[in-house]
Chains A and B, each alone.
Chain A
Amino acid sequence: MTAVPFLSASFLGFATLAVALNAVLTGAARQAAFIAVNLLVLGFIFLGPIGLASTVVFALIGWAVIQSATRYPRLGLVVASAAFVVLFAWMRNYDFVGWLLPDTLRTSTFATIGLSFLLFKILHVAIEAKSGTLGPITLPQYLNYCLNFTTFTMGPIQRFQDYTAQWTGSKLAQPVSFESNLDAVNRILFGLVRVYVFGALLQPYMMTYDSGAETADFVPMLVQVYAFYFFLYFNFAGYCDIAIGVGSLLGVRPPENFDKPFLARNVSEFWQRQHRSLTHWLTDYVFNPTLKSLLSGALRNRRIVAVAAALSLTMVVSGLWHGTTAGFLLFGLMHGAYLVGYHLWDTFLISRFGRKRVSAWRKTPLAAAVGIFLTFNLTAFAFVFFQLGASKGLKLFANLIL
């Protein structure tokens, strides 16, 4: 996980400054002040000068991609987006870049913090701009959306329409009252507690690359795997609380991103509870178009295969979005396999017993408990690749099974 210094005096100071400027300024001055604060936070706290420069250049290239998508509707989006994703892969220095380029052409100079979120935000704007659903977009508005410091490093991925509607005041981030703003402050406090108390307490017990989980006995290994699961949850959900709290005070509240994922009864529900803004993005821009394309083409009469293929591709994209190594690819493949398995099982049950009976059975406490237990363990063990990488992750599973 990225260590984002949300508890630092500088972050809290900049956030307070942003809230104060947002309160006293209007129109172009408000927009300009928010750009300035975003650049300051990114430059001083998150990225440093070189990182800030490369990120701004990346965002400006994204702006060009959006212009291409709107001006050349037939091929502009596809060609520009593909080139943009290639640029992203090169900047993030994915492992597979080494298969295609000599080492002299690879780079680790550029900032990679927040780049994945930035890529998905820009692609979202490009796709929606091409379809004409966004209306006119100004460069300052776009830059503030992309570089918004509250969601820059760890999301949630806010939709441009939602962000703009809140920024212009046509949609309220929260009720206009002292109490709701105090709730936002409490939300920040709650997030800080999740990150710096619960997360920090779990950190020593969780699996890390060097914690030896792959060779540990069953119980110590299990403790490490579970501890990492909850650490990840507290850390990430806590950061999202802070982003949502600060965003609410600024009048641009990001969407909720977590809903007790450890209580999910199946893997499909897990992704509706875990990193929800990513799930929605992947559903809209990877799963749905892929499924539609497959069902209108080669797999027209084979819906199950088409769904399985679309789910697998979606989860592979998810895995590669999360990280640059083979471990993240395996993480994605594993979740793809889970979702395909669940889909097949679900289809089988419904065809065999009927939707009503299956639905009634799933509501029983026993079925819920079994579902939660299985889902919790399946998803917890998928994070093994997330944290240990491919080689050690496979070793852990070999140690577990053999």
Chain B
Amino acid sequence: MARSRGFFAVAAVATAAVVFAVVTALLLAVARWAERDFAAYPYLAGEDPIRVLLPTVQKANREDTLLLGPSSLGEALRYEDLQEAWGGRVIMGAISTATLDELRLALDYAITVYGADALPGRIVLGLDPRVVANIPRRFGASAERPAGYLIDLVNDYSAQLSVQSTSTSSVLQPKGPLASLLARARFYATKQQARIRAGVLAAVERFLDPDPVKLGWQDEMPHFQVNFRWLSDKRNASVLRQLAADRGVISAAVTWMRAYRSPYTSQFYKPIAEKDVRLMIESDWSDVLTWTPAADEAIVTEQLAWIDEFARRNGIELVVLYLPLHELIRAELPPDNVEWIRTATARYLPSARFVESWDSIESDAFVDNVHVTPRAARIVTGQLLASVPKGPRTRENDHE
């Protein structure tokens, strides 16, 4: 009796597991389609480095462009506009509070795992003093290391690689079979929900509005006080209610879903008060404002040179975008440091083209201390397009 009761219990659990696996597989297929063909970007608000691990997001062709930089790059450039102008796919590769070491590691990961054939024809590298100074984020388990967050993600979830790191550098190495199996299991057991949510919403959005790249949709978004993806937050609920009242339920839903599966977050926030910007600068930028370039010269120049060599070796056009800086930050940045960064980037990224947006955005177009509003994003995107009007060079598409 006891044995048969147990048998039925195990059978029921196994049935549930099979149903769960099948449903998850189907939903993941939708997510992969949405990532590959419809520019759905999962993993947002702090988890965006996980995108590096997704071939559907990360793998590129020679006519494609990779936007690589901190989250402020992700908010300052409208990838849809760039895609429209440049032709190929524009991949949003912004990483929250990224450091130079983290960006280097992301490129190293891409070529090691996906191969040189999967690299884009162009990289737009977003730089600001915080990135160059390799100031690590101050939260999370890896607060101490410059590329800590990405290192943790690679170690925990990558099936192929792990990272051996010191306080100044990080080296990728192959993962053993057991570690690979565990990482894969961990990734599939715990990190698929965000993909499925974004993918399913993208599919619904596509069904309701078949235009996958609607230019300028960002300008129609209302201001949210918190992350608009949190539907259960009552402040968001009231904004969405108003949006539905103004534009109709379907249109409001499409707008929200388009935002949800997009890589943008901060630009739809209500801009914060100047006193709060000051507080954020005090908290997030104090290390940058007191940074001494001479102390880190060796490591910074080595990382810059690595990126330049990577681009040249793989035939990638490198465009450096000096990201917009808030007036309050510009006022406090030591001029010598600014000069040092310009000189170092020019010297150690000799193959790059440079686009200057450092002081192009007024304070009132910032949402917080680093992220800009949709209006400012249009300006920065325009500046980039003015300097680099055409897509990456390919055999079929030679600019000359």
Contact = CB atoms under 8 A, between A and B. Distances in A.
B9 A181 contact: yes
A185 B234 contact: no
A20 B10 contact: yes
Interface string B331-361: 0000000000000000000000000000000
A222 to B, nearest CB: 14
Contacts of B190: 9
Contacts of A98: none
B398 to A, nearest CB: 51
Given A182-B15, A249-B9, A250-B9, A176 B4 contact: yes
Contacts of B296: none
A331 B9 CA distance: 41
B234 A205 contact: yes
A315 to B, nearest CB: 33
A200 B12 contact: no
Interface stretch (A22-30, A301-309, A342-350): A22-30
Given A9-B190, A169-B1, A181 B232 contact: no
Interface centre among B8, B9, B12, B17 (most CB of A within 10 A): B9
Contacts of B26: none
Contacts of A20: 10, 13
A23 B233 contact: no
A176 B1 contact: yes
A19 B10 contact: yes
B2 A181 contact: no
A23 B234 CA distance: 46
Interface string A1-38: 00000000100000010011011101000000000000
Contacts of A23: 3, 5-7, 9-10
A178 B2 contact: no
B266 to A, nearest CB: 20
Given A200-B232, A203-B232, A205-B234, A176 B8 contact: yes
Contact of B12 (A184, A204, A205, A251): A184
Interface residues of B, number: 21
A290 to B, nearest CB: 41
B16 interface: yes
Contacts of A176: 1, 4-5, 8
Contacts of B4: 176
A177 interface: yes
B386 interface: no
A268 B157 CA distance: 53
B245 interface: no
A205 B238 CA distance: 12
Given A9-B190, A178-B12, A181-B11, A251 B232 contact: no
Given A169-B1, A182-B15, A204-B233, A177 B8 contact: yes
B273 interface: no
Contact of B9 (A19, A201, A205): A19
Contact of A19 (B13, B232, B234): B13
A185 B190 CA distance: 20
B178 interface: no
Interface string B219-240: 0000000000000111000000
Nearest to B7: A23
B160 to A, nearest CB: 22
A189 B12 CA distance: 13
Contacts of A185: 12-13, 15-16
A249 B12 contact: yes
A181 B234 CA distance: 39
Contacts of B7: 23
A20 B6 CA distance: 7
A9 B9 contact: no
B295 interface: no
Contacts of A181: 8-9, 11-13
Nearest to B15: A182
B9 A251 contact: yes
B141 interface: no
Contacts of A172: 5
Contacts of B16: 182, 185, 189
Nearest to B19: A185
Interface in B141-197: 189-190
B241 to A, nearest CB: 13
Contacts of B10: 19-20, 23
A171 B14 CA distance: 25
B371 to A, nearest CB: 24
B184 to A, nearest CB: 13
A201 B233 CA distance: 8
Nearest to A176: B5
A9 B189 contact: yes
A26 B1 CA distance: 11
B60 to A, nearest CB: 32
Contacts of A178: 8, 11-12
Interface in B201-255: 232-234
A174 to B, nearest CB: 9
Given A201-B232, A204-B232, A26 B13 contact: no
Nearest to B11: A178
A251 B2 CA distance: 9
A132 B8 CA distance: 35
A79 B234 CA distance: 52
Interface of B: 1-13, 15-17, 189-190, 232-234
6 contacts: A19-B10, A23-B3, A169-B2, A184-B9, A184-B12, A251-B6
Given A22-B6, A185-B15, A251-B2, 9 more contacts: A16-B17, A19-B10, A178-B11, A180-B8, A182-B15, A200-B232, A204-B233, A249-B12, A249-B13
6 closest A-B pairs by CB:
A23-B6, A181-B12, A249-B9, A185-B16, A181-B8, A9-B189
